[in-house]
């Protein structure tokens, strides 16, 4: 079986594809566990069969992205998520029993997890495999049909993704959509039963507004500015290792990359020296190293260079941390540290999403926590400390999508942890059991048996039973 391989170029195409999937969902509203497991197994097999084609396509779309990096960041967590869903699906699908009020007995109650129907997925360009097929895993596990809008910035990867879902799922489960901004806008206006969007906060506002026209429930994965807080007790050398891991991979084009650092003023210079050492070990030829990933296009490169120029014009010291090579080369930009930039600058207002690293300092830990609290809620908070009290303090005081202690990025690859933001960094979550719940409707079912005391509480209300209820209702 084949799905359409041409890009959708008109509103009619998109609406026709949606109607087809909606009809299929209505015909089979509750796919069996066997069908869902089969879909996941076929998707896993197709991914493995197309591994090299995917890695080559990602290399082509980015201009330079090492196969090893793409495998580590996209395929490893995706395959892990599929395996986890297959292993736990029977448990997730099982209705959960609930208790009933004594006045309703004899009866039974449960929550039944029903597929929502047709789920829309809008994926970004920075991880075009993981962030398109990851939501697909949860949606399929929950028994839904899926319509995916892929990023127009990754045409080579999109062609392989089409082959993968065609081989794995055929035409009964999925439609793939490509196109520019007008197609994406029309896509988000469809009356989906659920819509998941991964991208910028600015576009998230548009997606939510469009979804509201049909009261479509949404899950928004928006990123934002994830701080890395270095406590006074932190191991600075280890902090630098983990910071570079999270910031340099994919050239910082990661929604949960450390966006800025807050460290004690006395530790700042030592931390920077360790970061330089780590970067030199990662990329001995600086930006000319083949393992250093390109920025996706000149638009992103120009945006980041604009942040640098604005900061320098405002008197902010900006240092290249990769002196082994040129500052810029063929779509690559060296990782720079920006010393104590003002909050009014674009680099502190917008998600960096690239190789720029603002570093702020504090003298009291409480001041650092207050600063983070006053900012929009981040998708991730990274805390480096050897003090258990710091961990409790951050867990209780800072509202964030996730809290990671003494590492970066690794939370995304945990198949049994939910992933999602809060406030400006997103809404809702997917991955793990929470993903299954996101794409399912939790329907309450009550089954009544035999007579019931409630029948004695009918009008007229002067009946003696109502006098008893009025007297003793608080004990029920």
The answer to whether residues 34 and 177 belong to one domain is yes
Residues 357, 337: Cα–Cα separation, whole Å: 5
The answer to whether residues 117 and 92 belong to one domain is yes
The answer to whether residues 139 and 241 belong to one domain is no
Total domains in the chain come to: 2
Active-site residue among 74, 175, 221, 351?
Answer: 221
The answer to whether residue 364 is domain-embedded is yes
| Greatest pairwise CA separation for the chain in angstroms | 91
Q: Structural domain of residue 67, as residue ranges? A: 11-222+427-442
The answer to whether residues 174 and 247 belong to one domain is no
Q: Mutual orientation of helices 51-62 and 33-49 as an angle, nearest 10°?
A: 60
Give the domain CATH number at 268: 3.40.309.10
Given a cut of 60, whether residue 5 has pLDDT beyond it is no
Asked if residues 476 and 102 have their Cβ atoms less than 8 Å apart, the reply is yes
Give the domain CATH number at 207: 3.40.605.10
What percent of the chain is helix, strand and coil (3-state, nearest 5)?
A: 45, 20, 35
Specify burial of residue 315 (Cβ count, 10 A radius: 0-12, 13-18, 19+): exposed
Given a cut of 70, whether residue 474 has pLDDT beyond it is no
The answer to whether residues 153 and 235 belong to one domain is no
The answer to whether residue 452 is domain-embedded is no
pLDDT in tens, 410-437: 999 999 999 999 999 999 999 999 999 9
The answer to whether residues 193 and 297 belong to one domain is no
The answer to whether residues 206 and 66 belong to one domain is yes
pLDDT in tens, 122-177: 999 999 999 999 999 999 999 999 999 999 999 999 999 999 999 999 889 999 99
Query: Would you call 255 a catalytic residue per the annotation?
Result: yes
Query: Would you call 394 a catalytic residue per the annotation?
Result: no
The answer to whether residues 33 and 153 belong to one domain is yes
Residues 207, 196: Cα–Cα separation, whole Å: 9
Count of CB atoms within 10 A of residue 13's CB? Answer: 18
Given a cut of 80, whether residue 311 has pLDDT beyond it is yes
pLDDT in tens, 75-125: 999 999 999 999 999 999 999 999 998 878 889 999 999 999 999 999 999
The answer to whether residue 188 is domain-embedded is yes
The answer to whether residue 473 is domain-embedded is no
Given a cut of 50, whether residue 51 has pLDDT beyond it is yes
pLDDT at 372: 97
Residue 432's region, left for phi above 0, alpha for psi from -120 to 50, else beta, is: left
The answer to whether residue 104 is domain-embedded is yes
pLDDT at 223: 85
pLDDT at 456: 66
Given a cut of 50, whether residue 7 has pLDDT beyond it is no
Count of CB atoms within 10 A of residue 213's CB? Answer: 11
The answer to whether residue 376 is domain-embedded is yes
The answer to whether residue 464 is domain-embedded is no
The answer to whether residue 448 is domain-embedded is no
Active-site residue among 39, 42, 154, 255?
Answer: 255
- Cis omega (within 30 of 0) on the bond before 426? no
Give the model's confidence band at 6: pLDDT under 50 very low, under 70 low, under 90 confident, else very high: very low
């Amino acid at each position: 079986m084949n799905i359409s391989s041409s890009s959708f170029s008109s509103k009619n195409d998109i609406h026709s594809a949606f109607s087809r999937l909606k009809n299929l969902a209505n015909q089979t509203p509750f796919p069996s566990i066997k069908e869902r497991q089969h879909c996941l197994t076929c998707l896993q097999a197709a991914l493995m069969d197309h591994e090299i084609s995917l890695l080559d396509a990602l290399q082509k779309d980015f201009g330079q992205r090492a196969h090893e990096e793409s495998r580590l960041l996209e395929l490893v967590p995706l395959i892990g998520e599929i395996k986890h869903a297959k292993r736990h699906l029977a448990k997730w699908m099982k209705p959960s029993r609930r208790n009933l009020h004594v006045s309703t007995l004899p009866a039974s109650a449960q929550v039944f997890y029903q597929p929502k129907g047709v789920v829309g997925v809008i994926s970004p360009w920075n991880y075009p495999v993981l962030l398109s097929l990851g939501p697909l895993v949860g949606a399929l596990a929950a028994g839904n049909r899926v319509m995916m809008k892929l990023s127009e910035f990754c045409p080579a990867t999109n062609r392989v993704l089409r082959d993968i879902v065609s081989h794995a799922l055929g035409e009964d489960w999925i439609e793939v959509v490509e196109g520019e901004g007008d197609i994406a806008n029309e896509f988000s206006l469809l009356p989906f039963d659920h819509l998941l969007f991964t991208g910028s906060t600015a576009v998230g506002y548009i997606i939510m507004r469009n979804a509201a026209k049909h009261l479509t429930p949404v899950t928004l994965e928006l990123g934002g500015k994830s701080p890395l807080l270095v406590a006074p007790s932190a191991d600075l050398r280890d902090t630098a290792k983990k910071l570079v891991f999270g910031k340099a991979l994919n050239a910082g084009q990661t929604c949960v990359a450390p966006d800025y650092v807050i460290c004690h003023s006395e530790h700042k210079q030592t931390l920077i020296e360790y970061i330089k050492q780590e970067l030199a070990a990662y990329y001995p030829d600086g930006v000319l190293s083949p393992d250093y990933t390109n920025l996706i296009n000149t638009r992103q490169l120009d945006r980041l260079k604009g942040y640098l120029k604005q900061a320098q014009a405002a008197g902010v010291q900006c240092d290249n941390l990769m002196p082994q090579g040129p500052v810029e080369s063929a779509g690559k930009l060296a990782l720079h540290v920006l010393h104590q930039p003002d909050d009014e600058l674009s680099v502190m207002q917008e998600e960096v999403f690239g190789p720029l690293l603002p570093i702020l300092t504090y003298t009291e830990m409480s001041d650092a926590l207050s600063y983070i609290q006053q900012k929009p809620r981040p998708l991730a908070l990274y805390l480096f400390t050897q003090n258990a009290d710091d961990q409790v303090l951050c867990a209780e005081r800072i509202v964030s999508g996730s809290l990671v202690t003494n590492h970066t990025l690794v939370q995304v690859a945990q198949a049994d942890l939910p992933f999602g933001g809060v406030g400006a960094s997103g809404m809702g979550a997917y991955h793990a059991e929470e993903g299954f719940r996101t794409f399912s409707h939790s329907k309450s079912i009550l089954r009544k048996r035999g007579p019931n005391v409630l029948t004695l509480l009918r009008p007229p209300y002067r009946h003696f039973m109502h006098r008893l209820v009025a007297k003793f209702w608080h004990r029920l």
